[in-house]
Amino acid sequence: MGDTRRRTAARLSSLPLPTRPAFWRSPVRGVGFTAVLGVVLLAGLTLLFVTGLVSYAAYNPDLAAVNDKTPDKGWLGFYLFDWPTGPRWLYRLNQGVHVTLGIVLVPVLLAKLWSVIPKLFALPPARSVGHVLERLSLLLLVGGALFEFLTGLLNIQLEYVFPGSFYPLHFYGAWVFFAAFAAHTALKLPRALRVLREGIPPGEKDELAAPDPAEPTVSRRGALAIVGAGSLVLLATSVGRSFDPLRRTALLAPHGGAEPGPGDFQINKTAAKAGIAPAETGERWRLTLVGPAGEVHLSRKQLEAMEQHGAALPIACVEGWSTSDQWWRGVRLRDLAALAGYPQEAPGVLVESLQRSGSFRTVALRENQVRDARSLLALEVNGEALSPDHGYPARVIVPAAPGVMNTKWVARMTFGEL
């Protein structure tokens, strides 16, 4: 009986199981290699987290329930601030960095996970209470990182893959991930920096190095160069989403990005997709203004007869694509507020679209957004009447606001209480 057990144990220990350190033979693995990737991730993921939080603030979630896609956030929204209207490219820059960086960091994240994978299989799985806690935090770290990258990438690639739930998933996921990330960084950064400065001191073990390394096919430097090249390829094939002249080079994340829309700049949603029937936007269409002056109904002709103003402003989508400045013309939002009964200080406004569904069919804008002289109810863009897909008969355009807050096919604007 004892012999059988011994033989089984011997057979098991000779099996090529990933729980055996000798299973992992790449000579590239080592704490120095992991440390380089870790430091890159520290800078990149911190910026990714901050731009993600800033993106949420850009929706003015404190203003009205219609703007807040994560109403149960509690104190996680402690940092929210009033979103400004300048510089006009603020959201464009923030979201372009957030999404492009998220794409570019994919090879670095995968390489980092590859570099530490033997540790994830190491036995025994729990050596002490502290070890159990550390492993749990690693579960949140690795799971959180994969979850955030996956939800973000799916959202920019596929439309409505998480109907209505992307914002809460990505928002809460980000906090879970970042808490684990901060704990991991606090534990590992000192060692990472020491190894990067001095290498592994003699007598100290490199616990990520293979005990029985295979013949090298690439040096550590070469492996890092491959990861860097992967990131550069992703950068080159996605950065065009944010710059008009490079648009055709944007092979990745085409959602709303690659093909120019009507009027030579792209859109996410066509009138047909939003369910806007041509009859609703024809002669019968009226804009309803609501305020202390009661209800005011305006046809497109009446809007055209009001004082027209121009503004050069970009469209910047939450999915990271953006256009350069387009030349908009229409009526100032503050002039509409005056018509609705606020001749002096314009208040915030609740804007409703003809669209019947969709999480942004109603949007609240802050008073600073209504008062800005460049905030328009646009009737024209680039010298022509708006096309149906760009929001005919009238759409909102506000400097520095996320694309979805620039409501298309506007039907009703309620000034004052939101």
- Interface contacts to ligand HEM, rule CB under 6 A: 31, 34-35, 38-39, 41-42, 45, 109, 112-113, 116, 119-120, 138, 141-142, 145, 181, 184-185, 188-189, 191-192, 207-208
Angle at 49 between CA 116 and CA 108, to 5 degrees: 30
Secondary structure class of 171 (helix, strand, coil): helix
Structure tokens at 51: 């731009």
Taking only Cα atoms into account, the Rg of the chain, rounded to an integer number of angstroms, comes to: 27
Least distance CB 190 / ligand HEM (angstroms):
9
Least distance CB 274 / ligand HEM (angstroms):
37
Least distance CB 41 / ligand HEM (angstroms):
5
Q: Of 45 and 379, which CB lies nearer to ligand HEM in the complex structure? A: 45
Structure tokens at 99: 């999404």
Least distance CB 39 / ligand HEM (angstroms):
5
Least distance CB 410 / ligand HEM (angstroms):
42
Report CA 233 to chain centroid distance, whole Å.
Answer: 20
Q: Of 185 and 406, which CB lies nearer to ligand HEM in the complex structure? A: 185
Among 66, 84, 56, CA closest to 175: 56
Least distance CB 112 / ligand HEM (angstroms):
5
Least distance CB 31 / ligand HEM (angstroms):
5
Structure tokens at 39: 């430091």
Q: Of 64 and 176, which CB lies nearer to ligand HEM in the complex structure? A: 176
Given a contact cutoff of 8 angstroms between Cβ atoms, the answer to whether 88 and 322 are in contact is no
Q: Of 117 and 226, which CB lies nearer to ligand HEM in the complex structure? A: 117
Given a contact cutoff of 8 angstroms between Cβ atoms, the answer to whether 365 and 391 are in contact is no
Cα 40 to Cα 101: distance, rounded to the nearest angstrom: 12
Given a contact cutoff of 8 angstroms between Cβ atoms, the answer to whether 400 and 90 are in contact is yes
Cα 275 to Cα 268: distance, rounded to the nearest angstrom: 14
Least distance CB 43 / ligand HEM (angstroms):
9
Among 364, 357, 368, CA closest to 396: 364
Given a contact cutoff of 8 angstroms between Cβ atoms, the answer to whether 401 and 114 are in contact is no
Secondary structure class of 93 (helix, strand, coil): helix
Least distance CB 131 / ligand HEM (angstroms):
9
Q: Of 2 and 130, which CB lies nearer to ligand HEM in the complex structure? A: 130
Structure tokens at 9: 């144990």
Q: Of 100 and 323, which CB lies nearer to ligand HEM in the complex structure? A: 100
Q: Of 120 and 161, which CB lies nearer to ligand HEM in the complex structure? A: 120
Q: Of 148 and 389, which CB lies nearer to ligand HEM in the complex structure? A: 148
Q: How many CB atoms lie within 10 A of CB 170?
A: 20
Bridge partner list, 78: none
Least distance CB 3 / ligand HEM (angstroms):
36
Q: Of 141 and 274, which CB lies nearer to ligand HEM in the complex structure? A: 141
What b/e sequence results for 256-292 when a residue is b if at least 16 CB atoms lie within 10 Å of its CB, and e otherwise?
Answer: bbbeebbbebbbbbebeebebeeeebeeebebebbbe
Least distance CB 149 / ligand HEM (angstroms):
9
User: Residue number with the shortest CB distance to ligand HEM?
Assistant: 38
Angle at 317 between CA 313 and CA 320, to 5 degrees: 115
Q: Of 173 and 402, which CB lies nearer to ligand HEM in the complex structure? A: 173
Q: Of 60 and 185, which CB lies nearer to ligand HEM in the complex structure? A: 185
Cα 21 to Cα 17: distance, rounded to the nearest angstrom: 9
Burial of 239 (0-12, 13-18, 19+ CB in 10 A): middle
